[in-house]
Structure 1
Amino acid sequence: MAPLLQLPFFFFFFVFFFSFSLLTDGDNTSHVEQAGNFHIYYGQSFKVIKNALDGQSYLLLQNSSRAATRSRYCTGRIKSFVIPLSNFSIDTTTVPGLLGSLKAITSESMSSECLLKTYMGGEIEIVNKSETNQLATQFTAHFIGEKRQSRACNFVTFEPSEENTPLQRTEWIKYLGTFLNVEARANQVFQAVKENYGCLIKAAANTSATSFKPVVAWVGCNEGMWSFSHDTYKSQYVVDAGGENLEDSLEANAYNMSIPQDLDDFRALLCTLDVVIDETYASDPSEYTLSTFMQNVNISDNDCFSFLTNRSLWRYDKRVHNTTLDWFDGAISQPQLVLADLIEAFFPTGNYTTTYLRNIAKGEGITDIAPERCGRSSDTAMDPTIVPCNTIS
């Protein structure tokens, strides 16, 4: 299945979670509760992040320690950094930004209003991704999102999308906070998100207990081939929102719409679904409508398809800047908003406005992300959006 974007854009929302001026008192250490791909260890004047994705140990030395001025490590398995980072850059096609000493990004593809505002204000520069020497020498750290041995001593692998559940992916905020000595803030944000997410799960369970659980599938088309998504975190979202995933055993790997039997088999499965989330890539999301889906599936009526007759056909490209979707950014850092969207999709009340999902069966369009929509200064921390549980049940 082709993703909605050829290159993902992770966690720019975290850019404004962190603010040195607004840090509150609290524990200055972070403990990994759910994420499975990194761990953090603390010493008197150092920290160590062990990243299971690239096999690296990142030794973080406090700038006030003697070791910070005397020791530098850059081996196949160990890299050292002086913290808090004095400046850094990020690969905008794969990893998040951070507030404070962020100085450069590698692309104009952004899905955060406030990051766009900061960039357009001249506070951040664009650096060519291929200029490895510049990235290696000009910045204290350069965050990337590729699972490989980093070429330069200052490259740091960051890949929250490899986690299996929504909250595991979100907990990588602690990974980032450790490099800037803002663990208290990172802990605060993650705890708020986790508690709201748990509250919404309970609300969904109460709602689903009084009705049949809707059968849900994430589907997408790539060059005439339809397939079902098997991403673990998406299946977890469905369960947490009170729905039921289509059994994997019922699905083939792909269905070629030019082969009559494949087309018939795919339509047969679609007929069993109550909710469909269409992930098909669109170069212009605003142009992807219900008629686009009907053409891709080669159907002209709704008789067999309850998700069409009940108008429950969704896409996760509602928030977009040009072709950059916030699904690969803010939706990772704020899973409670995705969960609230799905609950409204599964058990519609009409009282909740979705953030990331749009219902193309009802003709819903996109929401353009623009810098003028940012109403804060860049040195003001953004708090996660908390969804009152009674609004979605």
Structure 2
Amino acid sequence: MSPSLSESFSLSSGFCLQVFLFAVWFCNFGVLLEGVNGTATTSATTVKVVNASKVEDAAYFHIYYGQTFKVIKNTMDGKSYLLIQNNTRMASRTKYCTTRIKSFVIPLSNYSVDTNYFPVSFFEVRIAGLLGTMKGMTSVSVAFECVLKLYNEGQIEMMNDSEPQKLTQFAAHFISNTDQAQSCNFATFLPTGEDAPLQRAEWIKYLGVYANMEVRANEVYDAVKENYMCLVKAVASKTGSFKPIVAWMEYNNGVWSFTKEAYKLKYVEDAGGENIDNSINKVTYNTSIPDDLEEFHAILCTVDVVIDETYTPDPVNYNASNFLQNINLEDQSCLAFLTHQSLWRYDKRIQNFTTIDWFDGAVSQPQLVLADIVEALFPSGNYTTTYFRNLVKEEAVTNISPDMCNRDSSTAMEPTIVACS
């Protein structure tokens, strides 16, 4: 796949595509419709769309269907991706590569992934056969065992992301960093840009389109969403007027801050808790300033559950003592989260003792994150958390390794469904 301007057309290509898509809409070649299972009709023809996805929750991408092509509108990078079926004349005759339009032939014969801070779990455990066509990655910072296994077996090649021209050998190269220089085969995949847990998880449908496996993607998302909403309803039916106060906190260079990321706050609300951000005006506190420290300590005395997000290069050895040293409070008797043993971190699953699965598997399986937070807020004692570990109880981390992969790469792992009643 060449990135040359001669093959990707000129500035007029955007206008040409608009004309082409309008013609497809209007004439008997096909009907452009938003992804939904069913039938679309024009005066000249009837198109049966039997393998389609409809975006229900995600805010930053949309899918449209024609008879022999699909269009993904990705508002994260402002691009439209024209996906053309490989058994059509259009596949060999059409090529777009402009600042706002790119074309791909599907299903993808192979692909590579920029695996730096990238949720590879969407590729690995959700769609059958998709992992087997992954042939390149840019880093071993991956928190999934089967990807690591394929790399160790030589089935996935390590690529240098500083040499983007070498990545053009693949039918597609998926990225999450939209600021980097891009070749024609680069496609942005950025579920972490969404503001709610289910919105992030629905990006499985984005990938399903590239593999012609929308039915499978729909099944996976439906299962995840159903389980997530079941947990929300279950905790709502059991929660009284009391809602535990939860603080997502981070320490950096002598300053404590309270997290305001929307998806984290949504998790707490759905788990039956209340975010501390709703009751305070200030979000950062400098421990070297006495007034700041005093106010910070006062707030901590009102908190029931703490999630410590402090970065550490050594997660394995980070414990409650590190946290207590950083808050610099001698009299800890008022700290309810210590009394009730509710001090947590989300680094329970890690790879090579540094790569945290919170930024990977937790994105594609929000129902497991929600179940963890419900357990943190309303401990039952009979549920084993997936991503969260309790610092007060000195829970250890789980190191992810290739030998933990016990399945064939052509077999999709089903989403983990949490018991809900």
TM superposition score normalised by structure 1: 0.90
Following superposition, which runs of at least 4 residues in structure 1 exceed 6 angstroms of deviation? Answer: none
- Aligned equivalents of 1:80, 1:351: Cα separation in 2: 50
SS of the aligned residue for 2:212 comes to: coil
Q: What is aligned with 2:105? A: 82
- Aligned equivalents of 1:149, 1:280: Cα separation in 2: 28
SS of the aligned residue for 1:100 comes to: helix
1:314 aligned onto 2:344: yes
The letter for the 1-side match of 2:252 is N
Q: What is aligned with 2:184? A: 153
Q: CA deviation at 1:373?
A: 1.5
Q: CA deviation at 1:266?
A: 0.8
Give yes or no for contact 2:246–2:303 (8 Å, CA) kept in 1: yes
Q: What is aligned with 1:256? A: 286
Q: Any residues of structure 2 matched to 1:1-393 within 5 Å, and which?
A: 27-97=50-120, 98=123, 99-135=131-167, 137-148=168-179, 151-209=182-240, 212-248=242-278, 250-322=280-352, 323-390=354-421
The letter for the 2-side match of 1:66 is R
Give yes or no for contact 1:150–1:156 (8 Å, CA) kept in 2: no
Q: Give the direction of change, closer, same or farther, for the CA distance of 1:199–1:164 in structure 2 (3 Å limit).
A: same
Which whole-Å deviations, capped at 9, do the CAs of 1:93-138 have from their partners, x for residues lacking one?
Answer: 1434431311000001110112111211111011011011111x21
Q: CA deviation at 1:301?
A: 4.0
Q: Give unpaired runs (5+ residues) of structure 1.
A: 1-25
Q: CA deviation at 1:261?
A: 1.1
- Aligned equivalents of 2:228, 2:402: Cα separation in 1: 28
Q: Give the direction of change, closer, same or farther, for the CA distance of 1:40–1:56 in structure 2 (3 Å limit).
A: same
TM superposition score normalised by structure 2: 0.84
Which whole-Å deviations, capped at 9, do the CAs of 1:231-268 have from their partners, x for residues lacking one?
Answer: 00011100100101113451423111111111111111
SS of the aligned residue for 1:242 comes to: coil
Structure 1 vs Structure 2: percent identity of aligned residues?
Answer: 60
Give yes or no for contact 1:228–1:251 (8 Å, CA) kept in 2: no
Q: CA deviation at 1:328?
A: 0.4
Which whole-Å deviations, capped at 9, do the CAs of 1:299-334 have from their partners, x for residues lacking one?
Answer: 244201101111100000000012000000000000
Q: CA deviation at 1:285?
A: 0.6
Give yes or no for contact 2:243–2:272 (8 Å, CA) kept in 1: yes
- Aligned equivalents of 2:263, 2:61: Cα separation in 1: 18
Count of aligned residue pairs for this structure pair? 363
Give yes or no for contact 1:56–1:78 (8 Å, CA) kept in 2: yes
Give yes or no for contact 1:241–1:346 (8 Å, CA) kept in 2: yes
Give yes or no for contact 1:103–1:125 (8 Å, CA) kept in 2: yes
SS of the aligned residue for 1:204 comes to: helix
- Aligned equivalents of 1:149, 1:50: Cα separation in 2: 20
